[in-house]
Amino acid sequence: MRQSPDAGIKAQIAQSRMSRFLGILCQRMIVTVQQHILEQQEDKFPAARGNFSSLLSGMTLATKMIQAKIRRAGLVDILGSAGATNVQGETQQKLDVYANQAVLHCLGARESVAFLVSEENEQPVTIDRSAGGKYIVVFDPLDGSSNIDVNVSVGTIFSILRRPEETPGETAVLQAGWKQVAAGYVVYGSSTIFVYTAGQGVFGFTLEPEIGAFVLTFANMKMPAQGNTYSVNEANADTFPESYRTYLGHLRSRGYGSRYIGSLVADFHRTLLKGGVFLYPPTKKNPNGKLRLLYEANPLAFIAEQAGGYATSGTTRIMDIEPLTIHERTPFIIGSRTEVAEFDRIHNAAAANSFTESATG
């Protein structure tokens, strides 16, 4: 049978991709995220039946779909607002909607998932599993999406929890961060990078566009014990609590520089690689801070701690906070051990002072 010209061209493209892929394989032994997850699972959880790795591969598939759409933003009609607001009262961008559907679709098909909780949905999406799904996934499908129209990095953040057997319904989702089984994010930047932890260190993978796979590029990532930048929306500084302003002044007096992208994932990724501190303090507009505990603060706190850093709400270790609602917010201070310890010192001294003043006043 004669091949159509189109089929011939497609076959040639596929062959050339395959030989390039084999070329890359020969140059260096690559480790894909799937291989890595399977190896970790075999080492640490020999009795596991592959549910967890299938779940993570659903997540990587969704983020590949999202990155493909982002890379075409501007070429197709996907920029701008979708004309609705989400549960936070924020305008939904078209890409927010697409990213949310991609994650719901890719994870909803995995047998092991019982609940999906998204920044974009007011209530958890319950997946009807007669056999009972083992896991809950909470996620922010497209973090920093207000930056998308101006070509600034955005990301996806996720956290995986075990579904507690004894807790009925949606209250199963309300778990402290220390119970996370795994957490990760993808930053859609100059390259697309997937970073995750399953409690055995932090690993980063870069999407190799030629072969469409995330390959290991950052093994056992460690956050520097100290950096030289802080990251905060300083336009809000007038309404930060006094101790935060004192802390920032202290960092400036020590020669720290300022870096703020306004995309949490991108700001955190820089902090993970270079050290320093990221803060979203309480403000007049957001007295509990702006960032969400379950799908923004907790996953990044887990990664930070696994990499040697730390995260606090100002009063409590982020991963010790018992959530009361799925979309609750928290003040968020995350980064290198040195900077976060210095924040604690200044913040606690201010709290002790105001206690003494009110006791004696």
Question: Binding residue for ligand AHM (CB under 6 A) from 56, 58, 137, 140?
Answer: 140
Per-residue binding letters, 148-187, with ligand AHM (x by CB under 6 A): ----------------------------------------
What is the chain's alpha carbon radius of gyration, rounded to the nearest angstrom?
22
Q: Does 311 help bind ligand AHM (rule: CB under 6 A)?
A: no
Any alpha helices (H) in the chain, and if so which ranges? 5-27, 33-44, 51-71, 94-108, 242-253, 264-274, 298-306, 337-360
Which residue lies nearer to ligand AHM by CB, 140 or 305?
140
Among 96, 120, 143, 339, binds Mg ion (CB under 5 A): 143
> 29 is written with which tokens?
């032994």
Rule CB under 5 A: say whether 140 interacts with Mg ion: yes
Of positions 141, 144, 276, 314, contacts ligand AHM by CB under 6 A:
144
For CA atoms 294, 295, 301, 303, the dihedral sign is positive
The string of DSSP codes covering 140-156 is EEEETGGGGGGT--EEE
CA distances from 158 to 2, 42, 185, 233, 348 (A): 48, 23, 6, 23, 31
List the one residue from 262, 315, 341, 352 that touches ligand AHM (CB under 6 A): 262
| CB-based contact 40:48 (threshold 8 Å) | no
Smallest separation (angstroms) from Mg ion to the CB of 172: 23
Stretch of 23-31, 43-51, 99-107, 262-270 lying at the interface with ligand AHM (CB under 6 A): 262-270
Closest contact distance (angstroms) between CB of 4 and ligand AHM is 45
**Binding status of residue 120 toward ligand AHM by CB under 6 A:** no
Is residue 270 part of the contact set for ligand AHM (CB under 6 A)?
A: no
Q: Look at residue 136 and give the partner it binds from ligand AHM, Mg ion, none, a contact being a CB closer than 5 to 8 Å depending on partner kind.
A: none
Alpha-carbon span 230 to 278, nearest angstrom: 6
How far apart are CB 100 and ligand AHM at their closest, in Å?
12
* Minimum CB distance to ligand AHM, residue 292 (Å): 7
Long-range contacts of 235-241 (CB under 8 A, 24+ apart): 236/281, 236/283, 236/284, 236/285, 239/283, 239/284, 239/285, 240/281, 240/282, 240/283, 241/281, 241/282, 241/350
Whether the Cβ atoms of residue 136 and residue 162 lie closer than 8 Å to each other: yes
Minimum CB separation from ligand AHM for residue 274, in Å? 17
Q: Which two tokens stand for residue 69?
A: 């759409």
The token pair at 337 is: 């051990």
Could you give the string, one character per residue 187-226, with x where binding to Mg ion holds by CB under 5 A and - elsewhere? ----------------------------------------
User: Using the rule CB under 6 A, which residue among 121, 206, 217, 233 binds ligand AHM?
Assistant: 233
**Of 342, 324, 360, 70, residue with least CA distance to 230:** 342
Residue with smaller CB distance to ligand AHM, 143 or 305: 143
Residue 263 touching ligand AHM (CB under 6 A): yes
Residues of this chain that interact with ligand AHM (CB under 6 A) are 90, 119, 140, 143-146, 233, 262-264, 290
Residues of this chain that interact with Mg ion (CB under 5 A) are 140, 143
